[in-house]
Amino acid sequence: MTDKDPAALLAAVERLREAAGGVDLPLELEGTEQARASRKELVQQLDDYVLPRLRSLDAPLLAVVGGSTGAGKSTLVNSVVGEEVSRTGVIRPTTRASVLVHHEQDTRWFTGKRVLPELARVAGEGAADDPGSVRLVTSDALPAGLALLDAPDIDSVVRANRSLSRQLLAAADLWLFVTTAARYADAVPWDLLRAAAERGTSVAIVLNRVPPEALQQVRIHLASLLRDQGLGQSPIFTVLEVDLVDGRIPPVHVERLTGWLDSLASDARARSVVIRRTLAGTLGSLEERATGVADAGAAQVAAREVLEQAPRTAYQDALKAVAESMRDGTLLRGEVLARWQELVGTGEFLRSVEAGVGRVRDRIGAWFSGKQITSEPLGEALQTGAAALITSHGQVAASTAARAWKHEPGGADIVREQPGLAKASPDLPERVERLMRDWQGEVLELVREEAGSRRATARYLAFGVNGLGVLLMIVAFSMTGGLLGTEIAIAGGSAVLAQRLLEAIFGDQAVRTMATKAREALLGHVERLYDDERARFDRALEEVPVREQSVTALREAAAQVEAAR
Ligand SMILES: Nc1nc2c(ncn2[C@@H]2O[C@H](COP(=O)(O)OP(=O)(O)OP(=O)(O)O)[C@@H](O)[C@H]2O)c(=O)[nH]1
Ligand SMILES: [Mg+2]
């Protein structure tokens, strides 16, 4: 920490706290779990330690006693204080919740939520085994200005202990690391010590339970290990293996340690050096850690964009496929063709129609008059065919989009939680039917409007609005691009014939316009329907909010802290 503007630094760290808490990591991507843990650690350390420390640099120094289970942490704290403030035991691990010992004068610093705000304060003897609590104990044996916190172990099988002890160590001005002659080379403590060294945290080591005959050797070895890890400056306090008196180490054996703690407490400068060293180290680590979280947030944004795109593509493809089938005559085959032939017959009439528009005009009325059959079955067949097409492409789109999600990072969980996404909405066929009815109404309206603008001819009357509507549907289902009105002979020429018949009544320009309108109206309906279907995917994504802006905010806040520290 430098002498830059402390208020600016505090404000920047406050912003960083908000921004880190605001980053969204809801999608299960590779590394997300790790990123969530990093974010939690970052946010906790800012709340537990960095912010309170920046707000009051002169608050008591908090020394957290950490180490392996059974190393004698609680025994040591009791011995330093000269009374049993923390339970010790033979069952591993013993300590589950933390105990914070401080001088009476310092009470105000710890009763409130200034530090470790997540932990409930428990006073006195009460059962303090809830890991979410910290028991506050006052002691005259400790000097004012320094508090000791007995933490759970860092390495037992109890996961809650491990995470709480790490949280507590992250809130320390000073790590008081307790290890034993038997276990000082264990891996877990060294991983933590290395991290502390890298960060610049103030660390002191207590080498406990040392057999007198091994003292020299073990101490030298431990010192060299510490040097290797960049902790050569950390003081080592050795405590000989002795018989406990009232469960405590006799004062003479912890004299050096208590003496050092006393001098630290009474020397404002020395205390400030320890405090600022750890604080500077932590402040220096913030940008990198925040950037790591921001990167994870950015990966979420990217993954989410991919997830958004997949259903869009699927439903666009479905709409394209429907449009294509309406163009290429697919809808005019099979049942439709059969009904059409029923209506107009085959062969001769068709050939006569192809011979020329003029002749058609002359013959239509005659040809149709007196026929018993109606255009209804044809209209039915047309609509049923189109409806089936629209429904099936809607179903394909749903399963395509869901399958894409299954294979995209972060998407699999959503599909697993909402298996219904893989199928079209249950009421899709119903809605398609309604859509076709609406469209039919519009087609008839087109015919009526066009007919109304000219006199009601005999030919018009011969077909009736419904019959002409059916013809218009046929033309609409066979147009290439809709605008050219190209006379493509499809499905036995039914489209050409329908077009000729309509043209005979309305003229070719009007027929082109009507067919284009009819076609576009239907595609418009289908597009809206598919939009609704796709919205189910959008809603599923809304439940996993990922805001790019929260990532940007975190990056900016991290850079501001870096500039202000
Ligand atoms: N003889 C002797 N026994 C000790 C000493 N320190 C601790 N013990 C015993 O070792 C056992 C564990 O001590 P604790 O103080 O409970 O250890 P801890 O590090 O707090 O353990 P956890 O709370 O589980 O993390 C207890 O039975 C203590 O009585 C010591 O210096 N000498
Ligand atoms: Mg303990």
The DSSP string of 508-539 is HHHHHHHHHHHHHHHHHHHHHHHHHHHHHHHH
Tell me the average pLDDT across 334-361: 60
The CA–CA distances, whole Å, from 445 to 350, 442, 451 equal 28, 5, 10
For residue 209, report the distance from its CA to the centre of ligand 1, in Å. 9
432 alpha-carbon distance from chain centroid: 34
Report pLDDT digits (tens) over 102-127.
Answer: 999 999 999 999 999 999 998 866 55
- 481: pLDDT strictly greater than 50: no
> What's the pLDDT at 461?
63
Report pLDDT digits (tens) over 181-200.
Answer: 999 999 999 999 998 998 88
Report pLDDT digits (tens) over 413-466.
Answer: 999 999 999 999 999 999 999 999 999 999 999 998 888 766 656 556 666 788
Q: Lowest mean pLDDT: which of 56-65, 75-84, 201-210, 344-353?
A: 344-353
232 alpha-carbon distance from chain centroid: 43
Instruction: Decide if 297 contacts 550 (C-beta within 8 A).
Output: yes
Query: To test ligand 1's pocket by mutation, which of 77, 85, 94, 176 has the most ligand atoms within 8 angstroms of CB?
Result: 94
Ligand 2 being an ion, which residues bring their Cβ within 5 A of it?
Answer: 73-74, 94-95
> What's the pLDDT at 487?
39
- 373: pLDDT strictly greater than 70: no
- 2: pLDDT strictly greater than 60: no
The side-by-side arrangement of strands in the sheet containing 174-180 is: 120-123, 133-138, 98-102, 146-150, 61-67, 174-180, 202-210, 236-240
Strands (E) located in 46-140: 61-67, 98-102, 120-123, 133-138
- 352: pLDDT strictly greater than 60: no
> What's the pLDDT at 486?
41
Tell me the average pLDDT across 509-522: 94
Which residues form the pocket of ligand 1, taking CB atoms under 6 Å from any ligand atom? 69-75, 88-90, 92-95, 152-153, 208-209, 241-244, 249
Cα angle vertex 133, ends 130, 139, to 5°? 115
Please tell me the residue having the least CA distance from ligand 1 atom 14. 72
- 372: pLDDT strictly greater than 50: no
Tell me the average pLDDT across 62-89: 95
Ranked by mean pLDDT, the top range of 253-267, 369-383, 497-511 is 253-267
Query: To test ligand 1's pocket by mutation, which of 74, 155, 245 has the most ligand atoms within 8 angstroms of CB?
Result: 74
For residue 117, report the distance from its CA to the centre of ligand 2, in Å. 22
3 or 550, which is more confident? 550
> Which amino acid appears at position 285 of this protein?
S
Average pLDDT, the chain: 89
> What's the pLDDT at 71?
96
For β-strands 98-102 and 174-180, DSSP reports them as: unpaired
- 92: pLDDT strictly greater than 60: yes
C-alpha Rg value of the chain to the nearest Å: 41
Please tell me the residue having the least CA distance from ligand 1 atom 8. 72
For residue 128, report the distance from its CA to the centre of ligand 2, in Å. 12
Instruction: Name the token pair of 553.
Output: 């905010």
The percentage of residues in the chain with a pLDDT greater than 70, rounded to a whole number, is 88
Instruction: Decide if 196 contacts 203 (C-beta within 8 A).
Output: yes
Q: Lowest mean pLDDT: which of 284-293, 385-394, 397-406, 507-516?
A: 507-516
The percentage of residues in the chain with a pLDDT greater than 90, rounded to a whole number, is 73
45 or 353, which is more confident? 45
> What's the pLDDT at 498?
79
For residue 490, report the distance from its CA to the centre of ligand 2, in Å. 87
> What's the pLDDT at 154?
95
Report pLDDT digits (tens) over 11-65.
Answer: 999 999 999 999 999 999 999 999 999 999 999 999 999 999 999 999 999 999 9
Cα angle vertex 58, ends 117, 2, to 5°? 100
Tell me the average pLDDT across 147-156: 95
> What's the pLDDT at 128?
58
> What's the pLDDT at 482?
39
The CA–CA distances, whole Å, from 504 to 221, 357, 378 equal 107, 7, 20
484: confidence class by pLDDT, cuts 50, 70, 90 = very low
- 1: pLDDT strictly greater than 60: no
For residue 47, give the DSSP letter: I
45 alpha-carbon distance from chain centroid: 23
500: confidence class by pLDDT, cuts 50, 70, 90 = confident
Q: Any idea of the CA torsion for 329, 334, 335, 340, to the nearest 10 degrees? A: 60
For residue 187, report the distance from its CA to the centre of ligand 2, in Å. 20
Nearest atom in ligand 1 to 247's CA: 29
Is 0.75 topped by the overall pTM?
yes
Tokens 């429907």 map to which residue? 322
Instruction: Decide if 546 contacts 300 (C-beta within 8 A).
Output: yes
For residue 115, give the DSSP letter: S
Please state whether 329 falls in left (phi above 0), alpha (psi between -120 and 50) or beta. left
For residue 87, report the distance from its CA to the centre of ligand 1, in Å. 10
> What's the pLDDT at 175?
96
Report pLDDT digits (tens) over 271-313.
Answer: 999 999 999 999 999 999 999 999 999 999 999 999 999 999 9
368: confidence class by pLDDT, cuts 50, 70, 90 = low
